[in-house]
Structure 1
Amino acid sequence: MRVLVPLAALALVTACSSEPTTTAQTAHYGEQVSYPETKQGTQVDTYFGTQVADPYRWLEDDTSQETAAWVQAQNKVTFDFLEQIPFRADIREKLAQAWNFERVGAPFVEGEYTYFYKNDGLQNQFVVYRQKDGGEPEVFLDPNTFSDDGTTSLATLSFSRDGSLAAYATSTGGSDWRTVYVMDVETKALIGEPLVDVKFSGISWYKNEGFYYSSYDRPDGSYLSEMTDQHKLYYHKLETPQSEDQVVFGLAEGEKHRYVGAGVSDDDKYLFVSAANTTSGNKLFIKDLTVSDSSFVAIVDNEDSSTTPVTNQGSTLLLATNLDAPNRRLIQVDAAAPQPENWKDVIAETEQVLNVSYGAGYLFARYMKDAISQVKQYSYAGELVRDIELPGVGTVSGFSGKKDADTLYFSFTNYINASSIYAFDPDAGESSLYFKSGAQFNADDFVSEQVFYTSKDGTQVPMIISYKKGLERDGSNPTILYGYGGFNVSLTPSFSVVNAVWMELGGVYAVPNIRGGGEYGRAWHEAGTQQNKQNVFDDFIAAGEYLIAEGYTSSDKLALRGGSNGGLLVGAVMTQRPDLARVALPAVGVLDMLRYHTFTAGAGWAFDYGTSEQSEDMFKYLLNYSPVHNVKEGVAYPATMITTADHDDRVVPAHSFKFAAELQAKDAGVHPQLIRIDVNAGHGAGMPTSMLIDRAADILSFSLYNMGYNQLTTE
């Protein structure tokens, strides 16, 4: 087994050897890195009378040759640095070996076939297989054939009511813009012309006649960064051109929303439409599809809460909501009068956050208790059938399927147990192992423990810390502290090959459930939004201080990691507390808090962040923590590797470009300030396995090298 040897320990080993001793010495440090010249412009913006310079505004232009040349130059510097790390190739090899095991998704039935996703190990994309009547599985759809390099992925797959047709969406280079194809499942022949320029959309079939989808008008400027502000719902009738697709919602007065989604009830009786302007809260409408030219009726006519349809029994609707229930409840109401004053609880709110699924004639209430899964089975009338015994302490997903299904499936995972699939008999309440993960990782050799620590204002925050048994708490252990803290997203325990390799090498992996997430419901989320956002950063800082105080690690052995909103988290913490950690790894981050809302659908994030145009107080609050605006001259920052991608049209790479330019211009320390920019990739979804392995190898290698390690050895 390969293990990491710190420089000090290595010196003792090599001193006893006849081979010459070597050390990395100053090769670790930023003074050895010659950064590309990044010109500074004269752009100055005025907010409420305050002038703010934006010298790197030109890097926002993702269509310019000048930006492309800057990206190429930055990547050369970064990869030249990474190539000098002596154990980088070994870590990539170890990751590839660890990744190389069969992964299978839960089966699902559509028409006459049972379908499932499978990856043999190192395939760039999962393949969709099918089988009939227990026969031999055959390939139904292989996304690995969509492009030579695996960068075109399968984003959505949806079947018509009788399973005879399938609509699937593809993403090119990781973009959120999709192309939708329709296929005859028996012949695998494509039907009609593909639909183009589809974004932030599901595919919801109506009978076997057509489907609903959502999109924006194609931008006049940059396809990847131009603001997309008005989402519309369309209906596509089969074998008609996309130009004839009808706008169902989003054109009438008062219907302009940034996010519009739709779903048709299983019985094809109702169309539900969710409409929102931010990522939190939605309006909900219903349309009776059995009545010609029926109008939409508002179930909830404001965005102060979140309500989603679960299922229906005839005209009785079951809806999950946080209206008057911050931890969510399930209600029922008649479609003829669906407004909140007529709601009745089916599953009442509890102290734990509720998510509801259905299948086989039952409801399944999936709760989180301190980010750990619990599941209860209910009848449609809300009668408790049983508490479901789970395989262990961790995260379960699934417990959903068709109403007439005989068997349901769920997956179970945590930080040290790779995801396995279980079959569940809903009548007997019994579970059996359906597919055991083939990951070559022995959970018995590792520990995953939950602790609670105290944040700056006294709030108790849970954190799960995972590591190899026998770890000594002497402050010497390389540690990754990972966080998110926003958008009601809950970080529940899940297995990662990258984290498994990190722990096998002797590393600690720690995940705090900081405010801004959804682990404790709406109140926990809102405690980390807008002018409460500093709570998120304080929680993360306190997590790092706890790990150091308890001897898990030290500042010199600590790396901060997070992506997207978590990239903002890392950027804010490293600029507020540059002494906290040796390494910072902000990925695809929201880093310019004064302008984030001017790109793509960024304005929809205002519930969490507020905007610089909202008020003078909000502008000043954002300016106070915006990472791009808080890089200071004369400060020594952690060794930083920013990661982004040229096709990220969710959090545009300009955020990362500007942050890198600021760090390289102002950092006064000896640690490298680098940016790694994937080409032909996006925000993360659909990235091919080969690119995932390359990026992970670079992140782990960069972290360990800058923590003072320079060799892998074999014990």
Structure 2
Amino acid sequence: MSMMRLMPAALLLSIVASSAATAQSSADDPYLWLEDVGSPRAMDWVNAHNARSVAVLESDRRYSTLYAQALEIASAKDRIPAPTFAHGEIYNFWQDADHLRGIWRKTSLADYKSATPHWTTVLDVDALGKTEGRSWVFEGADCLAPDQKRCLISLSEGGEDAAEVREFDLDTGRFVANGFHVPRAKTNVAWEDVDHLLISTEWTPGDLTASGYPYILKRLTRGQPLATATEIYRGTKTDVSVSAAVQHDGHGNTFAYLQRGIDFFHSETLVLTPNGPVKLAIPQKANIAELVDGRLILSLDEAWPAAGPSFVAGALAQLDLAATKADPAHPKPRLIWSPGPRESLAGVSSTRDMLLVSTLDNVRGRAWVYAPQAGGGWNVRKLDLPDNLTVGFGATDMKSNLAFVSASGFLTPSKLYLTDVGASGNALSVAKSLAAKFDASGDVVEQREAISTDGTRIPYFVVHRKDITLDGNTPTLMTAYGGFQASETPYYSGAQGKLWLERGGAFVLANIRGGGEFGPRWHEAGLGVKRQIIYDDFAAVARDLIARKITSPRRLGIQGGSNGGLLMGAEFVQHPELWNAVVIQVPLLDMIRISKIAAGASWQGEYGDVNADPAVMAFWRKTSPYQNLKTGVAYPEPFIFTTTKDDRVGPQHARKFAARMEEMKLPFLYYENTEGGHGAGADLKQAARTTALTMTYLQRKLMD
């Protein structure tokens, strides 16, 4: 990925963006008008500030080279094409200089493993957009198991989260005439079978929760008008959302269920039975991860005392499918895996016969294969993969036991292995290797620890030259995410290496609390009014870097996006003396009005509810970046980036923060891409421009 890495790969849930709300008067907040995303007045403000920032950054002597290098790396033909098993072939979504919006294409497995696969284009998104006069962005395909012939393709306008869903036939390579179609909306759609969909959407205007999600689930039969779909379940407007899912295993078993989201982390799970939905008696912070050999696999984000003391937060459990369908109110769980003190669950997937589990051990990746045994047990073996890297399972095949496994690190180009997890032993064959994108021969990766304000040890990775002089003069870029139980692990970035490390910069990834690197407890340590400890962790890592003389405040910059953008905003206002550059990307910054802007109401499980809890309001009154900017403070000049099409976090936070800085006559650079959704851009050129603007800013501040 580029330097515009918005942490995590999976970020926040999407939601309908709102216009300016009236809960706060313009006297209290003079920039409410900037919350009206597409108004002429707001866009005039955006265009004026874009012009000023572009004039500064694109006139820098480095910009054109940085842009060319970022685009070359992002569109390189020798990137590893991410594979997906579907309908007996390998599918891949691909973007390059000739296909800026991308093509969905296919080849055989044997051909995929060759040095030069022969691809057949299935869907050309650039051509589709040109034909239809739309700025289409491919948002993925959901293909119906087991034959995976029919797929639901999601297309968004300019990269926003709202999408149009169309049925596609892989045999004909065409959209299905008079097939399933759901108009643009924040919709959840799941295949029930070839002739039925389970859909939650805004059926009539206003059928949305306070968070902006649909809460009414219906069944749509092929050929039936959408307006006449049959209602299955109705949540309430105070829920976050209602959505459905259907799990399949390699032996023809299925499990259809719905989830009623109470908040971002808590939900009720209901089994879809012939007599209607029936509540499944599992913890509210438990998720159905897979269905393997007739066993439902559950990941537990909270302890399950009723099941026994070994069912701790972070564990993996199973339920017998048949027994669960027969009696959802009395499940009989069995433990599969429980984490050690420095371990956490990283991912769960499956093949036809096997359960695949990836874990973190002190933020180092591990991959395991679980083979079902008679009586409900498992035979477990560890895959022999390089240590000190991020490893995990990629695409898996439901019709065989083939699985792709990935491994990469800061200085280790990504490798994609293919293995038959059903065979004995740990045979791994290299299917694809990424060519090195920068010279890493003079660099080294270290894992260190800083001591936070409460004495907790906070691990972090630092990448730097082997011959570094410890005099505080190394330009250093530091990042973290710190929220939503998202784990931050080492990754290979050609742009980061070429545009930063090769130029003598150091890079730091901090595993602060709020993430999931050490399981649910690491996340819960910073929830709601406890969030200050997350910001303390980050500052502690910075001070540790300075104490070791790896860098100094003059040479230290920080960067983060989304919830990481909130982190950057908090560090900007709390510790302006620690940094000389701050990149604030697609951020949350106004935590008092968060529930009135875009997705804010759905994230109260993470941040607390300022409208209902006085303690939460008091905390954010003294912590929210937008409300805590002050005149007379020597802040560094930040680079604030957002996108107009971000209907997840919304551009309102960034706009208002910049406007308040302008009112206070504080220096800043602001850039708002008009497309891109909650990311760097809607196509490769937009993303490369964002990367080049960001890197130009960082080099001006930290390397000059």
Question: If the TM-score is normalised by the length of the shorter chain, which range does it land in?
Answer: 0.7 to 0.9
Give the Cα separation in 1 of the matches to 2:610 and 2:394.
Answer: 43
1:72 is aligned to 2:57: no
Match of 2:120 in 1: 138
What secondary structure, in the 3-state scheme, does the structure 2 residue paired with 1:361 have? coil
Q: Cα distance 1:476–1:257, how it changes in 2: closer, same or farther (>3 A)?
A: closer
Match of 2:157 in 1: 172
Match of 2:114 in 1: none
Q: Compute the displacement of 1:632 (Å).
A: 0.2
**Which amino acid in the other structure matches residue 694 of structure 2?**
I
Match of 2:261 in 1: 276
Aligned runs of 1:135-284 on 2, under 5 Å?
136-147=118-129, 152-161=136-145, 162-191=147-176, 192=178, 194-199=181-186, 201=188, 203-216=189-202, 228-249=212-233, 251=234, 256-266=239-249, 267=252, 269-284=254-269
Q: Compute the displacement of 1:120 (Å).
A: 4.8
Deviates further, 476-485 or 417-426: 417-426
Q: Cα distance 1:433–1:252, how it changes in 2: closer, same or farther (>3 A)?
A: closer
1:385 is aligned to 2:370: no
Deviates further, 560-569 or 181-190: 181-190
Contact 2:555–2:580 (8 Å) recurs in 1: yes
Q: Cα distance 1:128–1:78, how it changes in 2: closer, same or farther (>3 A)?
A: same
Q: Compute the displacement of 1:495 (Å).
A: 1.7
Give the Cα separation in 2 of the matches to 1:273 and 1:220.
Answer: 21
What secondary structure, in the 3-state scheme, does the structure 2 residue paired with 1:70 have? helix
Per-residue CA deviation, residues 95-148 of structure 1 (Å, 9 max, x unaligned), is: 233332422344333334332334456742443222358574311123233435
Give the Cα separation in 2 of the matches to 1:155 and 1:686.
Answer: 14
Give the Cα separation in 2 of the matches to 1:419 and 1:150.
Answer: 34
Contact 2:437–2:497 (8 Å) recurs in 1: no
Match of 2:301 in 1: 322
Aligned runs of 1:382-461 on 2, under 5 Å?
382-398=377-393, 401-426=396-421, 427-428=423-424, 429-461=426-458
What secondary structure, in the 3-state scheme, does the structure 1 residue paired with 2:602 have? helix
Q: Compute the displacement of 1:582 (Å).
A: 0.4
Q: Compute the displacement of 1:580 (Å).
A: 0.8
Match of 2:364 in 1: 372
Q: Compute the displacement of 1:365 (Å).
A: 2.1
Aligned runs of 1:441-590 on 2, under 5 Å?
441-501=438-498, 502-590=500-588
Q: Cα distance 1:346–1:694, how it changes in 2: closer, same or farther (>3 A)?
A: same
Count residues in correspondence: 651
Per-residue CA deviation, residues 294-341 of structure 1 (Å, 9 max, x unaligned), is: 2212114663x2322410434x43322234122222222421234466
Match of 2:3 in 1: none
Q: TM-score, normalised by structure 2?
A: 0.86
Contact 2:351–2:400 (8 Å) recurs in 1: yes
Q: Identity percentage over the alignment?
A: 25
Equivalent position to 1:597, from 595, 598, 602 = 595
Give the Cα separation in 2 of the matches to 1:198 and 1:418.
Answer: 38
Give the Cα separation in 2 of the matches to 1:415 and 1:150.
Answer: 38
Q: Compute the displacement of 1:211 (Å).
A: 3.0
**Which amino acid in the other structure matches residue 350 of structure 2?**
Y
What secondary structure, in the 3-state scheme, does the structure 1 residue paired with 2:564 have? helix
Give the Cα separation in 1 of the matches to 2:54 and 2:382.
Answer: 52
**Which amino acid in the other structure matches residue 406 of structure 2?**
S
Give the Cα separation in 1 of the matches to 2:601 and 2:695.
Answer: 34
**Which amino acid in the other structure matches residue 326 of structure 1?**
A
Q: Cα distance 1:125–1:431, how it changes in 2: closer, same or farther (>3 A)?
A: farther
Q: Cα distance 1:254–1:640, how it changes in 2: closer, same or farther (>3 A)?
A: closer
Give the Cα separation in 1 of the matches to 2:626 and 2:542.
Answer: 22
Equivalent position to 1:89, from 58, 64, 76 = 64
Q: Compute the displacement of 1:665 (Å).
A: 1.8
Give the Cα separation in 2 of the matches to 1:654 and 1:252.
Answer: 29
Per-residue CA deviation, residues 244-290 of structure 1 (Å, 9 max, x unaligned), is: 333433x26799542534224343642022221322122212124xx
Q: Cα distance 1:255–1:480, how it changes in 2: closer, same or farther (>3 A)?
A: closer
Q: Cα distance 1:630–1:436, how it changes in 2: closer, same or farther (>3 A)?
A: same
Per-residue CA deviation, residues 462-499 of structure 1 (Å, 9 max, x unaligned), is: 10111233222221121111111011111111122331
1:358 is aligned to 2:350: yes
Give the Cα separation in 1 of the matches to 2:361 and 2:202.
Answer: 38
Give the Cα separation in 1 of the matches to 2:297 and 2:256.
Answer: 14
Contact 1:219–1:227 (8 Å) recurs in 2: no
Q: Compute the displacement of 1:425 (Å).
A: 2.2
**Which amino acid in the other structure matches residue 143 of structure 1?**
V
Give the Cα separation in 2 of the matches to 1:275 and 1:300.
Answer: 13
**Which amino acid in the other structure matches residue 346 of structure 1?**
I
Q: Compute the displacement of 1:175 (Å).
A: 0.7
Per-residue CA deviation, residues 603-657 of structure 1 (Å, 9 max, x unaligned), is: 1111111122122221110111101000001112111110000011111111111
Higher gyration radius (CA): 1
Q: Cα distance 1:232–1:449, how it changes in 2: closer, same or farther (>3 A)?
A: farther
Q: Cα distance 1:230–1:498, how it changes in 2: closer, same or farther (>3 A)?
A: same
Give the Cα separation in 1 of the matches to 2:235 and 2:548.
Answer: 59
Deviates further, 399-408 or 63-72: 399-408
Match of 1:310 in 2: 290
Give the Cα separation in 2 of the matches to 1:219 and 1:498.
Answer: 44
Cα RMSD, aligned residues only: 2.8
**Which amino acid in the other structure matches residue 157 of structure 2?**
T
Contact 1:106–1:410 (8 Å) recurs in 2: no
Give the Cα separation in 2 of the matches to 1:52 and 1:414.
Answer: 50
Give the Cα separation in 2 of the matches to 1:387 and 1:611.
Answer: 43
Q: Cα distance 1:440–1:83, how it changes in 2: closer, same or farther (>3 A)?
A: closer
Q: TM-score, normalised by structure 1?
A: 0.85
Q: Compute the displacement of 1:207 (Å).
A: 3.1
Give the Cα separation in 1 of the matches to 2:97 and 2:413.
Answer: 14
Give the Cα separation in 2 of the matches to 1:504 and 1:309.
Answer: 41
